[in-house]
Structure formats: structure tokens, C-alpha cells
A and B are shown apart, each in its own frame.
Chain A
């Protein structure tokens, strides 16, 4: 009897040594493969750099303890990422253990589609064992957008994507006489002043913004009602204001109609030509879009500054969902908690990747001292402004059709800006395109 006790204790000791992390211990009885669906490398890099115990094996494989992590990367282009999710998630519960999707990521533009209660493809945080207290440090808007009809949270994000106006310091000095954020904000404090400044920029040979689509999200985030009301597409006054302001700006040569992410759009990030005064973006924009790590870019020399701009807005953000039917709930829960609520990990993300993290305490810390200064912004500390912005984000005017409406509206209006159609014709084309995408909707 004594002998048996001893062997049991020693077994337990060995067990405790081999599996120091409680999550691993429990996860050991769960699935052996953790399948993660993503659209780019971002989350993989975050996990590789910041999740304790993750070892990269190759480009699309890794290991956490004895669980194999498999990354499936499907780019968002042409809706491919969502098409992929749509084909696999509904059957996920019945899939073979090793093929089951455990984690998938979603973006703000289409979040409502996947957190829908009837679709039921993402587990609620409560089902995972994550309660509201665990998420208390997160910004409310990041939870509002992923709540289902019963108010249950079905996803969690490590990012708070409040955004601002990012300006070229050189041009600010030359045209506005100062590159101090307070002075620059004065010159772009509302749309009327912004447009006056744009005229000055054009006179000096600079473009105010790279394209009309840069300002679109600022307007579209500040609408008074959702795109779709009772199955009908309704055009908000603020969207109409974007059309009018943009048309005037294009006609005056203050901006162009290039598409976001196009080569023509991205040229302003580099010293040659370096002729764009401002871009609009959140914190991930610094790290992901502005080519700050490349020679010859303005960001590489800390040539940008950040101000609130004419109106507050947010852009994007990535949410982690636990797929319904996952066979690794414990590990998934641990990943969500570590990446989206752990102060140390999130501070590390903010400092190493210049991300604005979804954690009030961490942002407060970063704003308080120089640890939040960013090289790409010439040493400016953006966190106080971004934290204040995140508190103000209002998600009450989102609808499941936002992505399609926003994309099609910008595409249709390009014809009006380019002078190929009247406003009415462009609007008619938008209406046609929307009904093609969403046959159940009616237009005005």
C-alpha cells in the first residue's frame, strides 16, 4: 500500500515537472491538433513572439506543448477568406477531430456575420469559461461589436483600433509653419478647416490626402444610422458629405481617386515623392502599412506625427473566435486570455509591434511615461490620444452589410469623382451592385 502511494506521488511529481502549465495539462486530454484560420501573417507573428510556450516549426506549423498548431492562411482578396470560412464552419462540429477548426479570426467589417446567434459558428466567451471580469480591462466597443442578439460576447480582440490623422512633419513645417501636434490639429480640427488646409497644400504642390478613400472611414464611422434599416439601404448624411467634400477635393487637385493599398496610394509613404500631407489610420497602420522598416521611407526617419483629426474614428481590428465544435477548448481559452487580457503580454505587443492594445491599464501605463514613444512618429507618444479615442468609439450604427455597402459605395463613387458619371448615375450603380451582393435588400 505504502509502495503504491509512493509511486502515485512520484508519478504526480513527474507529471507536474513535465507539464508546468495547467493549460497544457488539461489540454493533453483534448485534441492533438489546433487548427487556426487566418487571412495574413499578423496573428501568427503575435503568437510566435508573445505566446509563452509556442514554438514555430515552419511557415504554417508550430507546437504548443504536444499540440500541433496548423495555420491556414487564406487571403481576404475577393472574399476568399470568408468563402473558406463559410464552407467549413457550418460542418465543423461533425468534422474529424484533427480537421476541426479551433480558432478563426474576424474583422470588424463583417464581425456581425460570424457572431450571429442563429449562425452559431463562434462559441460564446461564457461557454469557454471566460467571464466578464476577465474582459473588464477591454474597451467596451470591442465587446459591443461581437455581441449576439442575447448580448453574449462571442469574440475577443487584443487591439483597440481608434485612429487618427497621421501627418507628414516636413510638409507641416513648410506649409503650416509648425509640426507640433497641437498646431496641426488646429489646422484640421473640423472638415471646413481641413478643406481650407487642403487648398493651401494644393497651392504648395502637395496632396492633402493620397486618395478620397482615405477619409471615407472617418465619415462613415460618424453616421447617425446604420446602412441598412428594415431591409432597406439608406444613405446617411455624413456619407453624402464625404461625396461632396471629396468631389470638390478631386476637382481642385487636392487628392486622387486611387484605391487604398494600391501602388499609387502607397507612394506617399516614401521620401520620393513624399508629396502626401496626411493619411488616416489606427495604430496597426504604423506597423503594417507605412513601410517604416524600409530605407527611404518617411517613417524610417520618424517623419510622421499623429493628431485626432476632423472627427474621431476607428478602423479594423482583429477578433479571435473559438470555433463551435473545437476539440481544444482549454487551450483556446488560454490563448484568448493570454493574448487579449494579460497585461505583460499586451504591453510587450504595444512596445514591440507599435500596436494599440485593447487594455485600459496597459495604455494608461504607456501614456504615462516615455515607454510608449514611437520612433515612426518621431518619438511622439500616441497612447493617450488613442486611449481617449477608444473610449468614444460607438458601434451602435453597424450592420451585417457594412463591408459590402462600404466597398461598393466607394467603388461606385469613383466614377463620379473621375467625371465619368453624374452623382445620380453613380448612386444608381451602387444600388445595382448592392442588390447583386445582397439579393434580400431593397434600395431607395
Chain B
């Protein structure tokens, strides 16, 4: 009797496994196999010279040593982080502000739906198209320059693409513009999850709106906040399309806007699977470490 019941449960549970199959197949084919082969490839010298294939020859850790000693890996990491931070800080401030406005019942904002849609719109444009648009607008003979010159703000056209600050600034600005809507929606979801009774209690105790924001909203928003920071950080580390298109793949001036993935892309020309594989593995480790740090720092209380 008992065993019969058990087997019915097992039979029923089977469905769970059946439903997992599509995910597992996709995961194995598109994630696990590429991941393992990338690690495997990183130990080989394997590239094309013209139409000639060089390798694959097993070289052990040579690719890693070459990347860490010869390349400018640290510089590209620094570039990536600078551009990410430049874009992320205004983005998170803007999102917190918009999120608290949208969720504050006292403000009674009109046309909320309309504005929520509008702020999300930039994210719907392809990043490369967005970058192309900015490239054309900020060209030396482009519209922005001619407006600024005609308004007598600049004496002569400013070459935005030839200065470190302006290129990094533009990349950061574009990323911020593209992602603040997304972040706002995530933070709003977090804010709406906070019980109204807490706000009411704070008000009864005579707290000002500023105090409510810092003492009630922010601490309770922490789990969502951590999630936003980590996903944005991982996205930032993989920053590629915007600076790639904006600088035509050069990362100029002097590769000051070249990100880690743009550097990875440079190895595509010679189909250098070995070096590119090693770089990918390093990137994976880096992402893991950074995520762990962010998690530790921001989620100190929970971890304890």
C-alpha cells in the first residue's frame, strides 16, 4: 500500500524532470559546452595567419602569463570600471529619485504610466544604433557642434572623439540614458514591496520625508539594491557595443575607452582562440570576485 503511494508520487514528480529537459538541453548546448571548451581552448596556441591555421599546440599557462605580463589588461579593466561608475552613479541617483516619486502616494503624480513608458524607451533602441546616432551627432562637423558654435558657446568645433573626457563621458551618458529606466522599474518594484504601515508609523512619529527615505526606504530596499548593483556591475564589465561603435573599435584616444570585451574582440581578427579563451576565463574569475565583494559589503548584515 505504502509503496504504491510512493510510486504514484514518483510518477507524478517525473513531470517536473520532463519540464526541466528543455532548459537543460539549452543550458548544456549553449552554456556549458561553450564554457568548458573556452577553458580548454585557453591552454592552446591556436590562431589563423592569413589562410593558414597555426596550432592547436598545447602551451599550458602561456596565454595567461602573456595576458598578465605583456598586455594592458589592467588599463582596460580600469577604463571599463571608470566608464561604468561614471554612468552608474547618475543612473542610480536618478532611479532612486524617480522611483520614490512614482511610489509616493502623497505626490499623486499624473500621467504616471506615460512617464514610466517614456523613461524605459531608450532601452528599446539597439545599443549600436544609439551609439551610431551619438557618433553622428557629436562629429566635428555634426549638429551638436554647429549648434554650440552658432550659440557662441564654442569658438570653433570641439572634436568630441579626440578627447579622453568627452569620449568616456559620452559612453557613460549613453549607458546611463539607456539603463536608468530599467533600474527605476526594478527599484520601484522593491519600494512597492515595503509595507505602507511602516511609512504611516514613521509619519505618526513625526519623521520628515527625507528621514523616511533614508531610514525606512533605503534599508528595506537593500535586497533589490544589491541585485541592481550586481547585475549592473556584470553588465558594466561586459560593456562593449556602445564604446565599440562610438570609437569605431579603436577605443581611442590612446585606448582610453577600450573595455575588456573590446580587447577580447581584438583577438577575433586572427581567430586567436587561445588568447581570447584565456581572457574570457580571467574575466569570469574577475566577475565572480567583484560580485562576491559587492555582495559582502552591501549585504553585511544578512551574511552575518
Q: A113-B51, A411-B250, A420-B253 are in contact. Are A439 and B162 (CB under 8 A)?
A: no
- Are A116 and B51 within 8 A (Cβ)? yes
- Are A90 and B253 within 8 A (Cβ)? no
Partner of A411, one of B51, B139, B252: B252
By Cβ-Cβ distance, the 5 closest A-B pairs, closest first, are A420-B253, A119-B51, A418-B162, A113-B50, A436-B266
Which of chain B's residues has its CB closest to A425's CB?
B254
* B159 close to chain A: CB less than 8 A: yes
* A78 close to chain B: CB less than 8 A: yes
Residues of B within 8 A of A411 (CB): 250, 252
What number of B residues sit within 8 Å (CB to CB) of A?
A: 32
Q: A436-B269, A437-B270 are in contact. Are A119 and B252 (CB under 8 A)?
A: no
Interface of A is mostly: helix
Cα–Cα, bound, A418→B71 (Å): 24
Partner of A421, one of B248, B254, B267: B254
Residues of A within 8 A of B141 (CB): 263-264, 267
Residues of A within 8 A of B266 (CB): 433, 436-437
Q: A429-B254, A438-B270, A439-B47 are in contact. Are A118 and B139 (CB under 8 A)?
A: no
Separation in Å of the A86 CB from the closest CB of chain B? Answer: 6
Residues of B within 8 A of A437 (CB): 266, 269-270
Which of chain B's residues has its CB closest to A437's CB?
B269
Separation in Å of the B293 CB from the closest CB of chain A? Answer: 30
Separation in Å of the B5 CB from the closest CB of chain A? Answer: 59
- Are B254 and A119 within 8 A (Cβ)? no
Cα–Cα, bound, A257→B255 (Å): 17
B35-53 at interface with A (beta carbon < 8 Å): 47-52
Residues of B within 8 A of A257 (CB): 159, 162
Cα–Cα, bound, A127→B167 (Å): 53
- Are A114 and B51 within 8 A (Cβ)? yes
Cα–Cα, bound, A420→B255 (Å): 10
Q: A263-B139, A429-B254 are in contact. Are A121 and B51 (CB under 8 A)?
A: yes
* A440 close to chain B: CB less than 8 A: yes
Residues of B within 8 A of A320 (CB): none
A236-279 at interface with B (beta carbon < 8 Å): 256-259, 262-264, 267
- Are B162 and A420 within 8 A (Cβ)? yes
Residues of B within 8 A of A263 (CB): 136, 139, 141-142
Residues of A within 8 A of B162 (CB): 257, 414, 418, 420
Cα–Cα, bound, A440→B252 (Å): 25
Residues of B within 8 A of A45 (CB): none
Cβ contacts B110-123/A at 8 Å (1 or 0 each): 00000000000000
* B78 close to chain A: CB less than 8 A: no
Residues of A within 8 A of B50 (CB): 113, 116, 119, 400
Separation in Å of the A384 CB from the closest CB of chain B? Answer: 37
A104-143 at interface with B (beta carbon < 8 Å): 113-114, 116, 118-119, 121
Q: A433-B266, A436-B270 are in contact. Are A418 and B51 (CB under 8 A)?
A: no
* A229 close to chain B: CB less than 8 A: no
* B203 close to chain A: CB less than 8 A: no
- Are B272 and A439 within 8 A (Cβ)? yes
Cα–Cα, bound, A130→B275 (Å): 44
- Are A438 and B51 within 8 A (Cβ)? no
Partner of B253, one of A118, A259, A267, A415: A415
Which of chain A's residues has its CB closest to B157's CB?
A264
- Are A420 and B269 within 8 A (Cβ)? no
Cβ contacts A422-436/B at 8 Å (1 or 0 each): 000110010011001
Interface centre among B142, B162, B163 (most CB of A within 10 A): B162
- Are A432 and B254 within 8 A (Cβ)? no
- Are A90 and B51 within 8 A (Cβ)? yes
Q: A418-B162, A436-B266, A437-B270 are in contact. Are A429 and B255 (CB under 8 A)?
A: yes
- Are B139 and A420 within 8 A (Cβ)? no
Residues of A within 8 A of B140 (CB): 256, 258, 264
* A145 close to chain B: CB less than 8 A: no
* A89 close to chain B: CB less than 8 A: yes
* B196 close to chain A: CB less than 8 A: no
Residues of B within 8 A of A404 (CB): 269
Residues of A within 8 A of B52 (CB): 118-119
* B90 close to chain A: CB less than 8 A: no
Cα–Cα, bound, A364→B47 (Å): 48
- Are B49 and A440 within 8 A (Cβ)? yes
Residues of A within 8 A of B248 (CB): 259
Which of chain A's residues has its CB closest to B159's CB?
A418
- Are B49 and A438 within 8 A (Cβ)? yes
Partner of A415, one of B54, B254, B275: B254
- Are A79 and B269 within 8 A (Cβ)? yes
- Are A439 and B250 within 8 A (Cβ)? no
* B200 close to chain A: CB less than 8 A: no
A81-97 at interface with B (beta carbon < 8 Å): 86, 89-90
Which of chain A's residues has its CB closest to B71's CB?
A432
Cβ contacts A148-187/B at 8 Å (1 or 0 each): 0000000000000000000000000000000000000000
Q: Give 20 new A-B contacts, CB below 8 A, not counting A264-B141, A415-B252, A436-B272.
A: A89-B51, A113-B51, A116-B50, A116-B51, A257-B159, A404-B269, A414-B162, A414-B252, A418-B159, A418-B253, A420-B162, A420-B164, A420-B252, A420-B254, A421-B253, A425-B254, A426-B254, A432-B71, A436-B270, A439-B275
* B249 close to chain A: CB less than 8 A: yes
Separation in Å of the B276 CB from the closest CB of chain A? Answer: 10
Cβ contacts B254-293/A at 8 Å (1 or 0 each): 1110000000001101101001000000000000000000
Separation in Å of the B270 CB from the closest CB of chain A? Answer: 6
B139-170 at interface with A (beta carbon < 8 Å): 139-142, 159, 162-164
Partner of A440, one of B54, B71, B139: B54
Residues of A within 8 A of B71 (CB): 432
Residue pairs across A and B with Cβ atoms less than 8 A apart, 8 shown, are A258-B140, A262-B139, A263-B141, A414-B252, A421-B253, A429-B254, A439-B54, A439-B275
Residues of B within 8 A of A256 (CB): 140
Residues of B within 8 A of A415 (CB): 252-254
Interface centre among B48, B250, B275 (most CB of A within 10 A): B250
- Are B139 and A264 within 8 A (Cβ)? yes
Cα–Cα, bound, A118→B249 (Å): 32
A253-308 at interface with B (beta carbon < 8 Å): 256-259, 262-264, 267
Separation in Å of the A245 CB from the closest CB of chain B? Answer: 20
Cβ contacts A380-418/B at 8 Å (1 or 0 each): 000000000000000000001000100000010011001
